[in-house]
Chains A and B, each alone.
Chain A
């Protein structure tokens, strides 16, 4: 993966116009998903993803290859998200599923309703996490990064990145305490 990324960068630096397109196509979903998980808002995620790739385009020639391209791109996305969140932009989680018709409260639809309520509760709980904790959580759980890499992205020590992550998980656990009985 790393070598393939560096090949793309080499092509870009040699003036191959398709290299950047390939890079964007390869990374656009993960960049958008990361931005969405940080901002919890589709419009903000799209804008941040666009801005992140614009920054990648501007600065790719300065990328020093000491980290992987993913880590470098994630750092750009996370910094944009943290700046965005620091300016007070907050999203409200809105459940997209329709609640079942009360006349159709079969066992299956009740289970779906319950599942939806749990998903909403989780989304609301994640919404309340401080940005750095949210970043640590999503970089660890969804991007499967090591705490060392998360620390590099957030510009903090590895111990601090780990504490952010643990506090995020503990906070979610406290907010969703009733899950214990369901396990």
Chain B
């Protein structure tokens, strides 16, 4: 995931400070130097880094801070606040019109993900916001770009204005706007060809499209992996077109996200959306404070809860929680719980959101995901009776289940052991509940995860 290694670096730096009783010029100096290198390695713009470290230093050396007992915590807070400041302290969302179609125009360098994002945005609007969407295929230059958008439109199930490659993008945009207004679409998304910000002729073309259709939003696509030049590119596009926002794409790589940290601050253009994968569903609304939390390894509980709310069937969850609490937790419930967790997405992605869990390698995540699969396969090979009543599982039944699931008896035994552990955890939770105290970290239905060998 993006930012990960920046997170590691920063938490390492903060750790060193733990032994220190107060912040002094000298221990600050070393630490600031390390923060500086960590940010530069993350491709944060040179000027932003300079300003950032200066601000942190100034705030940290203020009298107030010096008197605080724990310099490490204080510093984390200062850095956190500065990061939020960089990323923009308010959420900025796309503004939708109520009485007429909202026109969104996608612009950017080649290969930043305009067409893909247009498809993802159409998906988001149609499925999550119940809007009718019209796509306009305005990239007449890149071979097969129109085919690409065409295929995306079909997959998402939205309409497209496709006039081929012989018509000018300006004309396509005007036609698309007419159609959007006449047929009362909620949103029109105009895809444009990738271009270099120094290509005057093509930049003029974008200007012409803008003048012809007056879009409500002009979104610049920025590749999360871009280097120091990202800011120059954004500045150039902004100067020409007056951007209303940026979309960071490819944030699912191991980029350290420096471009994301620099753009808003250096150009004033807020980040509105982030692309986090290749699937149509992989587009998220950007929240600066949550991102800052994540960069500092503080997890992102809000996103986790939101994801959980979307994916978890509340009735189902209540049912199994009640059952668990009453001590009647069986393998059917374990399987149901597992399925709920799986709906949230990949385990690795999920764990990133939980505070205090940064030290998990991709191998460990993969192993855990394999393990979850094993549990599922093995339980699926059991009869109803066995699932409700695991105690009856004796040797011959175990052999049958092992053969049926293609796993070994040892693996089956491991699953049973986990089941016992989960059951024990549930009992403990019940004691907590009765005594009126909350368990530490209480994640409710997710509590059972502890039993999954994590």
On whether the two chains bind one another, the answer is no
Residues of B whose CB lies within 8 Å of any CB of A are: none
Residues of A whose CB lies within 8 Å of any CB of B are: none
